[in-house]
């Protein structure tokens, strides 16, 4: 069998969830959209079910998958409904629903529901992607409550630059949120992972009833490009690994792989690893990207191909056929691999496919 696989440590997932709660002092919706950032949404939800305050996904398709797997906790649809007709399923499965545009308010006013709906009303505080205009916010809030279709409204917004420690944008967005909110008394949800980890001072006045929405930090990857004190406490959940399936000795001057992107400067021992961009390893990773071979640091050399990549074994005489290679995980930081090739750990995780996922710590 091909030795490529993703090991998923569910104990680490729970550790990171508890950390999100501890650092924020708030309730936490575990964000498990996009198949839990490639980690397997159902397995991750089951692992957190006993302690999570709730889950968040992108759309109803993702939520129903969790309901059908027996997840009974609250599930928030982060983009609400895309079509009005989804409201009956939202009602039937008791899903929580973001309202981010005026037409969604109108759809709720028209809806025939068996039970009152829990709404998270989103205001655009400067991300300028979705969310109600600040000037429309309180009116939408009043209309939802007056509709008789809604039992409670959580006030919500989203940060655009919380991963930049020196940006004034998060404070500006918070001020705009507070202005839009005015004197509305309700639960509040503003923070994604970088805001939880990086901006404790901004939220000194929060209430214990507030909600945070940790995503990437649950999976143990830092959203910051630079070292960050709280992010250092995270534990990586996914270890992407494979094995050396072939070894060759090249004299100086010989190239390796497509496009001869690496040329041996000295006699070089090359290990071929069963892992490629079809598994989700980034094709743009450069020579020098860190890997670990049998517990020793080494580096990627040459271009990543679809099913294989090559690593430098020259200084690792003990390594050879069958040696275990970690592409990222406990020892090799997924964030370092990502930032090294112009990507982000979010995208690396979401791209993982073809490799079987093996779970521990259930």
Catalytic-role residue among 204, 243, 258, 277 = 258
Active-site residue flag, 346: no
Select 214 or 236, whichever has its Cβ closest to ligand PLP.
214
Select 195 or 291, whichever has its Cβ closest to ligand PLP.
195
Yes or no: say if 56 and 44 are a contact pair by the CB < 8 Å rule: no
Select 149 or 158, whichever has its Cβ closest to ligand PLP.
158
Minimum distance from residue 177 beta carbon to ligand PLP (Å) = 14
Please report, for residues 134, 170, 185, the alpha-carbon distance to residue 182 in angstroms, rounded to integers and kept in the order given.
10, 18, 9
Residues 6+ apart with CB under 8 A from 68: none
Select 192 or 230, whichever has its Cβ closest to ligand PLP.
192
344, with CB counted inside 10 A (0-12, 13-18, 19+), is middle
Query: Which parts of this chain interact with ligand PLP (CB under 6 A)?
Result: 31, 33, 78, 158, 192-193, 213-217, 223
Yes or no: say if 86 and 93 are a contact pair by the CB < 8 Å rule: no
Minimum distance from residue 141 beta carbon to ligand PLP (Å) = 18
Catalytic-role residue among 17, 33, 277, 281 = 33
Active-site residue flag, 33: yes
Minimum distance from residue 75 beta carbon to ligand PLP (Å) = 14
Minimum distance from residue 195 beta carbon to ligand PLP (Å) = 8
- Nearest 5°: the CA angle 357, 360, 362 is 110
Catalogue the active-site residues.
33, 258
């Amino acid at each position: 069998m091909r030795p490529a696989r993703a090991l998923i440590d569910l104990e680490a997932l729970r550790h990171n969830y508890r950390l999100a709660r501890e650092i924020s002092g708030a309730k936490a919706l575990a964000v498990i959209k996009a198949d839990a950032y490639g980690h397997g949404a159902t397995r991750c939800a089951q692992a957190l079910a006993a302690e999570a305050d709730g889950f968040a996904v992108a759309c109803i398709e993702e939520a129903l998958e969790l309901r059908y797997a027996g997840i009974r906790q609250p599930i928030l649809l982060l983009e609400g409904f895309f079509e009005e007709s989804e409201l009956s399923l939202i009602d039937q499965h008791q899903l929580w629903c973001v309202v981010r545009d005026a037409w969604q308010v109108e759809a709720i006013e028209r809806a025939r529901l068996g039970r009152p709906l829990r709404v998270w009303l989103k205001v655009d505080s400067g991300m300028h992607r979705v969310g109600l205009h600040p000037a429309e916010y309180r009116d939408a809030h009043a209309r939802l409550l007056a509709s008789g279709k809604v039992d409670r409204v959580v006030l919500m917004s989203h940060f655009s630059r919380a991963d930049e420690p020196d940006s004034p944008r998060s404070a500006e967005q918070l001020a705009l949120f507070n202005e839009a909110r005015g004197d509305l008394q309700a639960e509040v949800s503003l923070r994604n992972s970088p805001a939880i980890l990086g901006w404790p001072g901004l939220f000194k006045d929060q209430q214990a009833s507030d909600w945070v929405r940790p995503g990437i930090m649950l999976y143990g990857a830092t959203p910051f490009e630079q070292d960050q004190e709280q992010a250092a406490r995270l534990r990586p959940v996914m270890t992407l690994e494979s094995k050396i399936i072939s070894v060759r000795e090249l004299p100086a001057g010989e190239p390796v792989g497509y496009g001869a992107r690496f040329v041996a400067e000295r006699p070089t021992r090359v290990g071929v690893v069963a892992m490629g961009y079809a598994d989700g390893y980034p094709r743009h990773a450069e020579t020098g990207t860190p890997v670990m071979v049998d517990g020793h640091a080494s580096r990627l050399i040459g271009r990543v191909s679809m099913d294989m990549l090559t690593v430098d074994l020259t200084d690792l005489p003990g390594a050879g056929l069958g040696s275990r290679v970690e592409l990222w995980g406990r020892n090799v930081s997924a964030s370092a691999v990502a930032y090294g090739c112009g990507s982000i750990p979010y995208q690396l995780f979401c791209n993982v496919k073809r490799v079987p996922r093996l779970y521990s710590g259930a």
